[in-house]
Chain A
Amino acid sequence: MDLKLQKIIPQLITVLVVVLVFGFFTYNAQINMENRGIDFGYGFLSQESSFDVQFSLIEYDGSHSYFRAYLVGLLNTILVSVIGIIIATILGVIVGVARLSPNYLINQFAAFYVEFFRNIPLLLQIFFWYFAALRALPLPQDADAILGVFFLTIKGLYVPAFVWENLNVFLYSIIAAIIAIVVIRIHARKVQETQGKQLPVFWISVGLIFILPLLSFLIGGVSLSFEIPKLKQLATTSFKYEGGISLPPELIALTLSLALYTATFIAECVRAGIQGVGKGQKEAAASIGLNPNQVLKLVVMPQALRIIIPPTTNQYLNLTKNSSLAAAIAYPDLVLVFAGTALMQTGKAIEIVSITMFTYLSLSISISILMNWYNKKIAIKEK
């Protein structure tokens, strides 16, 4: 057989199969929608949604459009993911380092944590926290204040709200501090390359990031006060906290379980990364006269991060995708608000499910593109 033909035929067959399958689906979808009297289109996004959402970061009620409902869901998803990622990273790094500790008790404790939380389905953990653990919390009127200002009750966590004056000046001061730090770092590198002197960059940075915002308080007219939640009686047996920020129990249960679960995987990534740096590297670095801090900063960390970051990003993505389990405990995330309530009301199954999937897809593809770029940048340049 002709070699060229041999190359083309399998491809043609595959494409044909794919096209046929998709064509079959589209054809059926058209017929089904005609039979049921549904028309295809994304026009419903601008219609009035007429349903309420319990918890939203932006202003929203039933009179807003479906598109705004979508935004509410998306923001709630992002909120859970960001908080979860921060907690999971901190916990994961601590546990990962603890697993390598020479202290037998500590590394066994860390190993126990990892094995325990990793082998229980996430959904079960979410249910556990939401339906069992958080339900054991006191009612609002019986709650004791933690540190005087936090109230952890069955209806959620109440934290004091910040009341800022001249917030923008404060933000500018932080931005100025960051710019100053970057400039100093570049300058310090230049000094080191040309004169071989090392500037105490770390301490200068710490000083800047504290002193500039402090100055903004002293002379910039910035002031900060706290609004502490207060108990308010609605009826004889019904109490509620007012003021401050209230975090619903769904959010707490979800973030907690996502963070505890994902931290086990991050811990394993961190451990693998640190173990992946050869012992010879540390010894070589020490033998050319670097002090332990420099060994960690200049030799071990850059190499360990190269191993740690790609799988950890994957875990971040997993956490974001897993946050869709919110639907199980009625936290109004993208899936619950949009693929749940909005779908029930409009019946636009294809449009809504496709938008939801596309949102998650674009989120993860953009992160993986970023990741590939980063990987290429830090990859060892082989000669």
Chain B
Amino acid sequence: MSKINFLKPDKDNLTTFLYMGSFLFVISVIDVFLNSFFSLNITGFLPASLSFIIPIILGFIGLYFIRIEHSGNKFLDQVNKNINTSNFNAILSLLIIFIIIKAIPPVLSWFVVDASFAGDSKDVCSGTGACWTYIKVWFRRFMYGMYPNAEQWRINLSFIALALLGSVGYFATEKFKKYLTLYYVVIYPFIAFLFIFFFISGGPVFFDFSYGIIAAVISIIIGFFIPSKFKFYYFIFVPITLYIALKYFIFYEELIELGKLDGLNWVETGAWGGLSLTFIISFFCLIFCFPIGMAFALGRRSDFPLIRYISIGFIEFWRGVPLITVLFMSAVMFPMFLPADFFIDKLVRCIIAISLFEAAYVAEVIRGGLQALPRGQYEAAKSLGMGYWRMHIFVILPQALKLVIPGIANTFLALVKDTPLIFVVGLLEIVGMLNLAKTNPEWLGFAMEGYVFAAIIFWIICYAMSKYSYNLEQKYKTER
């Protein structure tokens, strides 16, 4: 055994250094651990300031002793490589370990140990921990807003049905795969709208708009059989004629009365709220902002100067203003721009405003994808005799969109995170409901629990979305 130099740990005295280093390190961790979990201070005999930093000094010396390169011990090498590469790194690692140990007891006691779960009144919440009873009592309000308790099955039913309908993509056979895009872009949103209109809001089956929908559906179905030469003219004239015919000649008042579903009470949008409203708004804004954004992205790269300038103006305008002023505009300014007897629901105005706002961001993201494609792709498509639309639909957009999946996912995440802003127009989704509940005189002083609860929910939603987008990105990654 060679001479031991304590300032220079080396491989020859590996075991000595290893035992000493590990011992010091473990002592330091145990000290912090006891201090934090059992409020025992084993170095209490030392002066206060020294006792405070002694774990760091001990741990640092310990880590210094075990920092031996190529020791042959696999575990030790891993530790050294990952947390103990230099003095500076060793101190940072120690600090992080100690912070974690220090943070566990208070967090745990607030969340679980001292928290109150039982009961349904404020009286049970006398401890120092969180009052989850508050969340329990207010749970329905946080989920459904002011929606009447007896009617909440309608929201649940609609959401379950929509989730099932939304998942058909996973079960579709090869034969139907090619219709999936059409399904998700046109049919599914439409079904979703009907569910929300009929079930959640309790609207009549026949309303002015349904003529338009019926006319559109019929003309699309017939449209499949029209030769492509006449399709353009067909789609300009037929749906409008059909709409007028349906509205003024075919359906009569009695039929409309017949179509009203009995038993569903009308619940106005002002009463909607909570997490369900967050979902509704995010869902529709996601669906609307994507095609609008795509159109403006194409418009910005168009060869027609006027279209290009209009697109640039649109995009830069929406990107330049904060969402809160846009919502202000939709609340106080927009009604001024409409005829006096024309009323658009608050929620619809909100959805329009957020969709247009996010569409500008989507447009910029998609433009990035379009610019990233090599010119060769355009030229190849053109040389095959493809026109503008055919080229974009079959060649350019599929590739460009694939490239910008992360960007689009980020925009969608931003959209979900922006929904709480609708408090500006008086709609209360989950954060708004929290603020309302917080001011209830019977439940004062539980703001923290509410915000933590909402933060957990939003975190789960957003984290899941970002992981999903990452998976999509990996799935569609193609070698170029």
Q: Which A residues are closer than 8 A to B by beta carbons? A: 7, 10-11, 14-15, 18, 24-26, 28-29, 31-33, 35, 101-106, 109, 115-116, 118-125, 127-128, 131-133, 135-136, 321-322, 324-325, 327-328, 335, 339, 343, 349-350, 353-354, 356-357, 360-361, 363-365, 368
Binary flags per residue of B427-448, CB closer than 8 Å to A gives 1, else 0: 0000100110010000000011
For B96, give the chain A residue with the smallest CB separation: A105
- Provide the residues of chain B in CB contact with A339, threshold 8 Å: 325, 328
- Indicate if the CB atoms of A105 and B324 lie closer than 8 Å: no
Alpha-carbon separation in the docked complex, A103 to B333 (Å): 54
- Indicate if the CB atoms of A357 and B310 lie closer than 8 Å: no
- Indicate if the CB atoms of A121 and B336 lie closer than 8 Å: no
Q: 26 A-B Cβ contacts within 8 A?
A: A14-B307, A15-B306, A25-B337, A26-B337, A29-B337, A102-B85, A103-B82, A119-B458, A120-B455, A121-B416, A121-B417, A121-B458, A123-B420, A127-B431, A128-B452, A131-B447, A131-B451, A132-B447, A321-B323, A325-B421, A335-B324, A357-B321, A360-B320, A360-B325, A361-B317, A368-B316
Q: What is the count of residue pairs linking A and B with beta-carbon distances less than 8 angstroms?
A: 160
Q: Which 8 A-B pairs have the closest CB atoms?
A: A119-B462, A104-B82, A321-B322, A361-B320, A25-B337, A121-B417, A324-B322, A132-B448
CB distance from A96 to the nearest CB of B (A): 16
Q: How many residues of B contact A (CB 8 A)?
A: 58
- Provide the residues of chain B in CB contact with A321, threshold 8 Å: 321-323
B152 on the interface (CB 8 Å rule)? no
- Indicate if the CB atoms of A353 and B328 lie closer than 8 Å: yes
Alpha-carbon separation in the docked complex, A357 to B353 (Å): 14
CB distance from A8 to the nearest CB of B (A): 9
Among B307, B329, B431, point to the contact of A353 (Cβ < 8 A): B329
Q: In B314-364, which residues have CB < 8 Å from any A CB? A: 316-317, 319-325, 328-329, 332-333, 335-340
Among A104, A122, A127, A135, point to the contact of B417 (Cβ < 8 A): A122
- Provide the residues of chain A in CB contact with B333, threshold 8 Å: 349-350, 353-354
- Indicate if the CB atoms of B325 and A135 lie closer than 8 Å: no
Extra contacts, 8 of them, besides A132-B447, A360-B321 (Cβ < 8 A), are A7-B303, A32-B336, A103-B85, A119-B458, A131-B438, A353-B325, A353-B333, A357-B325
CB distance from B279 to the nearest CB of A (A): 14
- Provide the residues of chain A in CB contact with B305, threshold 8 Å: 11
CB distance from B258 to the nearest CB of A (A): 36
Binary flags per residue of B247-281, CB closer than 8 Å to A gives 1, else 0: 00000000000000000000000000000000000
Given contacts A14-B307, A115-B463, A353-B325, contact A103 B92 (CB under 8 A): yes
Alpha-carbon separation in the docked complex, A328 to B416 (Å): 18
Binary flags per residue of B409-432, CB closer than 8 Å to A gives 1, else 0: 000010011111101100000010
Alpha-carbon separation in the docked complex, A33 to B448 (Å): 45
Q: In B180-208, which residues have CB < 8 Å from any A CB? A: none
- Indicate if the CB atoms of B89 and A106 lie closer than 8 Å: yes
Alpha-carbon separation in the docked complex, A286 to B299 (Å): 47
- Indicate if the CB atoms of A121 and B316 lie closer than 8 Å: no
B35 on the interface (CB 8 Å rule)? no
- Indicate if the CB atoms of A119 and B466 lie closer than 8 Å: yes
B22 on the interface (CB 8 Å rule)? no
Among A105, A131, A335, point to the contact of B322 (Cβ < 8 A): A335
- Provide the residues of chain B in CB contact with A104, threshold 8 Å: 82-83
CB distance from B93 to the nearest CB of A (A): 5
- Provide the residues of chain A in CB contact with B419, threshold 8 Å: 121
Alpha-carbon separation in the docked complex, A325 to B455 (Å): 17
CB distance from B149 to the nearest CB of A (A): 26
Alpha-carbon separation in the docked complex, A357 to B306 (Å): 24
Among B89, B307, B338, B421, point to the contact of A28 (Cβ < 8 A): B338
- Indicate if the CB atoms of A121 and B420 lie closer than 8 Å: yes
CB distance from A93 to the nearest CB of B (A): 16
- Indicate if the CB atoms of B328 and A105 lie closer than 8 Å: no
B454 on the interface (CB 8 Å rule)? yes
Given contacts A14-B310, A324-B325, contact A29 B336 (CB under 8 A): yes
CB distance from B164 to the nearest CB of A (A): 27
- Indicate if the CB atoms of B93 and A106 lie closer than 8 Å: yes
Alpha-carbon separation in the docked complex, A322 to B322 (Å): 7
For A107, give the chain B residue with the smallest CB separation: B82
B97 on the interface (CB 8 Å rule)? yes
- Indicate if the CB atoms of A120 and B83 lie closer than 8 Å: no
Given contacts A11-B307, A103-B82, A349-B332, contact A120 B462 (CB under 8 A): yes
Most buried by A among B419, B435, B451, B466: B451
For A362, give the chain B residue with the smallest CB separation: B320
- Indicate if the CB atoms of A31 and B306 lie closer than 8 Å: no
B459 on the interface (CB 8 Å rule)? yes
- Provide the residues of chain A in CB contact with B329, threshold 8 Å: 353, 357
- Provide the residues of chain A in CB contact with B324, threshold 8 Å: 324-325, 327, 335
Alpha-carbon separation in the docked complex, A353 to B325 (Å): 7
B171 on the interface (CB 8 Å rule)? no
Given contacts A119-B459, A353-B332, contact A132 B310 (CB under 8 A): no
- Indicate if the CB atoms of B92 and A124 lie closer than 8 Å: no
- Indicate if the CB atoms of B337 and A11 lie closer than 8 Å: no
- Indicate if the CB atoms of A124 and B332 lie closer than 8 Å: no
Given contacts A105-B83, A121-B417, A335-B325, contact A127 B306 (CB under 8 A): no
B304 on the interface (CB 8 Å rule)? yes
- Indicate if the CB atoms of B421 and A123 lie closer than 8 Å: yes
For B446, give the chain A residue with the smallest CB separation: A132
- Provide the residues of chain B in CB contact with A11, threshold 8 Å: 304-307
For A11, give the chain B residue with the smallest CB separation: B306
Alpha-carbon separation in the docked complex, A204 to B452 (Å): 51
- Provide the residues of chain B in CB contact with A325, threshold 8 Å: 324, 421
Given contacts A103-B92, A121-B417, contact A349 B322 (CB under 8 A): no
- Provide the residues of chain B in CB contact with A327, threshold 8 Å: 324, 424
- Indicate if the CB atoms of B463 and A119 lie closer than 8 Å: yes
For A357, give the chain B residue with the smallest CB separation: B321
Among A7, A28, A116, point to the contact of B459 (Cβ < 8 A): A116
Alpha-carbon separation in the docked complex, A242 to B6 (Å): 57
Q: In B287-308, which residues have CB < 8 Å from any A CB? A: 303-307
Alpha-carbon separation in the docked complex, A135 to B438 (Å): 13
Alpha-carbon separation in the docked complex, A123 to B432 (Å): 10
- Indicate if the CB atoms of B304 and A135 lie closer than 8 Å: no
- Indicate if the CB atoms of A121 and B431 lie closer than 8 Å: yes
Alpha-carbon separation in the docked complex, A104 to B319 (Å): 38
Alpha-carbon separation in the docked complex, A365 to B448 (Å): 39
- Indicate if the CB atoms of A124 and B431 lie closer than 8 Å: yes
Given contacts A14-B307, A102-B85, A103-B85, contact A124 B321 (CB under 8 A): no
CB distance from A28 to the nearest CB of B (A): 5
Among B93, B320, B435, B447, point to the contact of A103 (Cβ < 8 A): B93
Alpha-carbon separation in the docked complex, A362 to B329 (Å): 18
Alpha-carbon separation in the docked complex, A323 to B333 (Å): 22
Alpha-carbon separation in the docked complex, A120 to B455 (Å): 6
CB distance from B85 to the nearest CB of A (A): 6
- Provide the residues of chain A in CB contact with B316, threshold 8 Å: 361, 365, 368
- Indicate if the CB atoms of B328 and A335 lie closer than 8 Å: yes
CB distance from A256 to the nearest CB of B (A): 14
- Indicate if the CB atoms of B339 and A132 lie closer than 8 Å: no
Among A7, A28, A133, A361, point to the contact of B336 (Cβ < 8 A): A28
Alpha-carbon separation in the docked complex, A364 to B333 (Å): 22
- Provide the residues of chain B in CB contact with A29, threshold 8 Å: 336-337
For B299, give the chain A residue with the smallest CB separation: A14
Alpha-carbon separation in the docked complex, A365 to B321 (Å): 10
- Indicate if the CB atoms of B322 and A360 lie closer than 8 Å: yes
- Provide the residues of chain B in CB contact with A324, threshold 8 Å: 322, 324-325
